Structure 1
């Protein structure tokens, strides 16, 4: 695995890299479990004519959110999120790093707001004892906590990457001066 392209280089950066990598492995495992469950579901439905229950519910409520929210910060670790590169890549390196800091801080604020809203929903589900509907009967909070956890991780990663950009800017100004 290549080393991350962005972020802090030091103990904090390495710790965040390990957390992000672990969450990415969890996302990959969720995808494999989803694949196996759907294959079993198709086999039992069309070959045995006796489908197993709970596959759709487990996929919708747990596996898909884990896949999405568990891999967000890992993708940011490698600077892999989509951006319009035609203008951005034409900028001088220092200006580009400065824009990166601003954009990452704005994205961190955005995901912090999402985390706040998702956390409020999870707490409300916990307080009122809401349960899932459909094939799986479980407390709704068990699925609603996935989004805030993923959002906290992406906020932390964005802050670590913004700090790495500032570190990069300082290093560039030291080389110039």
Structure 2
């Protein structure tokens, strides 16, 4: 995992290696900005938060909180939730989309996505998660879905999420989701 700064000519001004040497491959971190600091959700289950104070050096700090409710676990029946989109502040909480995989072996794996909402303030407790994967096509056509980023646009008074997806490691799509419907199909996390 690296973080870089590009100038207006798209030249790299600096690149910082953020490898924590915890896992063989560091990936799927969920970046977000809490208004003052650059943060990463390093893991979803449990929800581990890292803070980066200096972009030019690897000084990630694992945030810990007394009586930490963010380490509570939630159940997702479709594999281990892993990162996806950056988290964005939506309606006074952060919203992000994640991916997970399940199947009998690597040739039969299916990758699905879901959404989760977490508090905007420390300890960044996960509040809601999708009840089920967000589908838009059958597994016959789409076995691998990876959420990459999203924006929200208001159309005729309703909020719609435009979610970019990687499909089958070979193409991309934009999925349009009614925000109100998505939120109504999410369950509370205790």
Higher relative contact order (CA 8 A, sep 6+): 1
What is the TM-score when the length of structure 2 is the normalising length? 0.21
TM-score by length of 1: 0.22
Indicate the structure (1 or 2) with the bigger Cα radius of gyration: 1
User: Which one has the bigger helix percentage?
Assistant: 1
Relative to its length, the structure with more strand (as a share) is: 2
